[in-house]
C-alpha cells in the first residue's frame, strides 16, 4: 500500500473523529493523529445537549464516534503533530513529536483548544508530575495535601469548588483583588478554611526534582517573593488554539483561531479545518462534529479531483456494507452502527 494517505486528520476530538467517519466511509484512506482520544469532551462526565442523547458521558460519546470511524477503516496513532508543510509534489508532510513523518493528499486540522500555559520556568518539565490543567481530572490525586490553584474568572469557580472538597489547603493565586466576582461564592470559599488567598500575585516559577515540590510567587504590589511548598499546581486560565505550527499555511484571527469558509477550507488548497480550533461563535460538540463532516466532504471532493475522478459531493445517503452487520442481524444481535 502507498505510504501516502488520502486524508490525515489532526486531532481525535469530536470534530476530527466525525471527519474520519465520513472520509473513511467515502473510501478514503484516512489516518487520525492525536495526542489523546476525546479532547475537551473527555473532561466532562455528562453531556445533556448532544442531539440523540438525553445524557451521555463525554468520553463515552467520543468513543462511539471512534468505533464508527475505525469500523469504516480509519487508522489512529497517538502522537503530537509538531510540524506541517507542503512538499514540491503538493503533498502534505506531517512531523510528530516522536520523530515520525506522514504524507497525505489532504489534511483536516481538528486539534481544538488546549489549556493555556502560564509560561513560567518549570511548568513544561513538571507537566503531569504535579502541574495539572484539569482540576476535575486530577484533584483526587492530591487528597489531603497542600496544592496551589492559579485561576480566575469563569474557570475558577469549578476548580475552587473541587479543591475545597478534596485537598488539605490550596493557595489561590490570582492577579486582581478578587478571583471571581461572586461574593457569595467567595464567602463559601473563605468559610471552608481550605483556601489561602493570594490576591495581586503571580507565579514566577514551579520547582521540583521530578515532581512538583514548590511554587514561587510574587506580590505584584509589594514585590515580595515567596516560595510555597505544594504537591501540585492547578492551572485553570482558559483554553487557546495552539496554531503556531500551521500559521505559515492558514489565516488566523486575532485569537489565533483558523479562518475557514463555509466548506471548511482554509487559505491553503487541500488543507481543511473544523471544530473549536476554527473561528466559530459557539464552541459546542455538535457544532464541532458538523464542521468535521463539512471538512470531510470537501476534502473528499478535493482528493477525488487530485486523483482525476468525479469530484462533486452532493449528499451521502448511500448505505454501505459494514462487516458483520448482516450476520449479526440474522443472529438477532443489536447492532449499534
Ligand atoms: C469541561 C467541558 C465541558 C464541556 N461540556 C460541553 C457540553 O456539555 N456540550 C457541548 O456541546 N460542548 C461541551 N464542551 C465543549 C466541547 O467539549 C468542545 O466544543 C468540543 O470538544 C470541541 O471539539 P474539537 O474536536 O474541535 O476539539 P477538542 O475536543 O479540543 O479535541 C482536539 C483534539 O486534538 C488533539 N490535539 C491538540 N493538539 C494536537 C497536536 N498538535 N497534535 C495531535 N493532536 C492534537 C487533542 O489532544 C484532542 O484530542 C465542553 C468543554 C469542556 C472543556
Q: pLDDT digit string (tens) for 161-171?
A: 999 999 999 99
Q: What is the pLDDT of residue 80?
A: 96
pLDDT at 329 over 90: no
Answer for the pair 235, 133: CB distance below 8 angstroms, yes or no. Answer: yes
Answer for the pair 290, 50: CB distance below 8 angstroms, yes or no. Answer: no
Phi, psi of 157 (to 5 degrees): -60, -55
Q: Looking at the structure, do residues 193 and 278 belong to the same domain, yes or no?
A: no
Q: Looking at the structure, do residues 102 and 248 belong to the same domain, yes or no?
A: yes
What's the pTM value of the predicted model, to 2 decimals? 0.83
Q: Looking at the structure, do residues 322 and 174 belong to the same domain, yes or no?
A: no
Q: What is the pLDDT of residue 324?
A: 61
pLDDT at 15 over 50: yes
Residue with CA nearest ligand 1 atom 30: 112
Answer for the pair 247, 162: CB distance below 8 angstroms, yes or no. Answer: no
Query: Ligand 1 centroid to 121 CA: how many Å?
Result: 27
pLDDT at 179 over 90: yes
Answer for the pair 107, 245: CB distance below 8 angstroms, yes or no. Answer: no
Average pLDDT on 291-308 reads 95
Answer for the pair 32, 12: CB distance below 8 angstroms, yes or no. Answer: yes
Ligand 1 in reach of 35 Cβ (< 6 A): yes
pLDDT band at 327 (very low <50, low <70, confident <90, very high): low
Domain end call among 209, 236, 263: 236
Q: Is 171 contained in some domain?
A: yes
pLDDT band at 310 (very low <50, low <70, confident <90, very high): confident
Give the separation between CA 304 and CA 176, rounded to whole angstroms: 55
Domain end call among 217, 236, 255: 236
Q: Which residue has the higher pLDDT, 134 or 80?
A: 80
pLDDT at 182 over 80: yes
Q: Looking at the structure, do residues 28 and 93 belong to the same domain, yes or no?
A: yes
Domain count across the chain: 2
Q: What is the pLDDT of residue 337?
A: 33
Q: To test ligand 1's pocket by mutation, which of 17, 18, 40 has the most ligand atoms within 8 angstroms of CB?
A: 40
Ligand 1 in reach of 13 Cβ (< 6 A): yes
Domain end call among 236, 271, 303: 236
Q: Is 123 contained in some domain?
A: no
Q: Looking at the structure, do residues 231 and 257 belong to the same domain, yes or no?
A: no
Q: What is the pLDDT of residue 323?
A: 61
Give the separation between CA 188 and CA 203, rounded to whole angstroms: 25
Ligand 1 in reach of 43 Cβ (< 6 A): yes
Supply the mean pLDDT for the chain: 92
* Dihedral over Cα of 63, 69, 72, 73: its sign: negative
Average pLDDT on 213-236 reads 97
181: domain CATH number is 3.50.50.60
Q: Which residue has the higher pLDDT, 215 or 3?
A: 215
pLDDT at 318 over 70: no
Ligand 1 in reach of 10 Cβ (< 6 A): yes
Q: Looking at the structure, do residues 11 and 96 belong to the same domain, yes or no?
A: yes
pLDDT band at 136 (very low <50, low <70, confident <90, very high): confident
Q: What is the pLDDT of residue 334?
A: 45
pLDDT band at 43 (very low <50, low <70, confident <90, very high): confident
Q: Looking at the structure, do residues 8 and 107 belong to the same domain, yes or no?
A: yes
Q: Closest ligand 1 atom, CA of 113?
A: 30
Q: Looking at the structure, do residues 218 and 255 belong to the same domain, yes or no?
A: no
Ligand 1 in reach of 271 Cβ (< 6 A): no
Q: Looking at the structure, do residues 321 and 295 belong to the same domain, yes or no?
A: yes
Q: Which residue has the higher pLDDT, 292 or 283?
A: 292
Query: Ligand 1 centroid to 285 CA: how many Å?
Result: 8
Report the percentage of the chain scoring pLDDT > 90.
83
Q: What is the pLDDT of residue 309?
A: 83
The boundaries of the domain holding residue 269 are 4-113+241-330
Q: Looking at the structure, do residues 222 and 272 belong to the same domain, yes or no?
A: no
Ligand 1 in reach of 113 Cβ (< 6 A): yes
Average pLDDT on 130-144 reads 92
Amino acid at each position: 500500500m502507498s505510504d501516502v494517505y488520502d486524508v490525515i486528520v489532526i486531532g481525535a476530538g469530536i470534530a476530527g473523529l466525525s471527519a474520519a467517519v465520513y472520509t473513511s466511509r467515502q473510501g478514503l484512506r484516512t489516518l487520525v493523529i492525536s495526542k489523546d482520544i476525546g479532547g475537551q469532551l473527555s473532561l466532562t462526565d455528562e453531556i445533556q445537549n448532544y442531539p440523540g442523547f438525553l445524557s451521555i458521558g463525554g468520553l463515552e460519546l467520543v468513543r462511539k464516534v471512534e468505533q464508527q470511524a475505525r469500523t469504516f477503516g480509519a487508522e489512529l496513532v497517538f502522537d503530537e503533530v509538531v510540524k506541517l508543510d507542503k512538499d514540491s509534489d503538493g503533498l502534505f508532510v506531517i512531523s510528530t513529536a516522536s520523530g515520525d513523518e506522514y504524507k497525505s493528499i489532504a489534511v483536516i486540522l481538528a486539534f481544538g483548544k488546549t489549556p493555556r500555559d502560564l509560561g513560567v520556568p518549570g511548568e513544561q518539565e513538571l507537566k503531569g508530575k504535579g502541574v495539572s490543567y484539569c482540576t476535575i481530572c486530577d484533584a483526587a490525586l492530591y487528597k489531603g495535601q497542600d496544592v496551589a490553584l492559579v485561576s480566575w474568572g469563569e474557570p475558577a469557580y469549578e476548580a475552587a469548588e473541587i479543591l475545597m472538597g478534596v485537598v488539605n489547603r490550596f493557595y489561590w493565586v490570582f492577579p486582581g483583588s478578587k478571583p471571581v466576582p461572586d461574593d457569595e461564592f467567595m464567602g463559601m470559599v473563605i468559610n471552608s478554611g481550605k483556601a489561602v488567598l493570594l490576591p495581586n500575585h503571580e507565579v514566577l516559577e514551579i520547582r521540583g526534582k521530578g515532581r512538583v515540590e514548590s511554587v514561587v510567587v510574587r506580590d505584584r504590589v509589594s514585590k515580595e517573593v515567596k516560595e510555597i511548598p505544594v504537591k501540585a499546581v492547578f492551572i485553570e486560565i482558559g483554553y487557546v488554539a495552539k496554531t503556531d505550527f500551521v500559521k505559515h499555511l492558514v489565516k488566523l484571527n486575532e485569537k489565533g483561531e483558523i479562518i475557514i469558509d463555509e466548506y471548511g477550507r482554509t487559505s491553503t488548497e487541500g488543507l481543511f479545518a473544523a471544530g473549536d480550533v476554527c473561528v466559530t461563535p459557539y464552541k459546542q460538540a455538535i457544532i464541532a462534529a458538523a464542521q468535521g463532516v463539512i471538512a470531510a466532504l470537501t476534502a473528499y471532493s478535493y482528493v477525488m479531483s487530485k486523483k482525476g475522478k468525479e469530484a462533486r459531493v452532493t449528499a451521502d445517503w448511500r448505505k454501505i456494507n459494514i462487516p458483520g452487520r448482516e450476520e449479526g442481524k440474522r443472529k438477532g444481535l443489536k447492532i449499534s452502527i
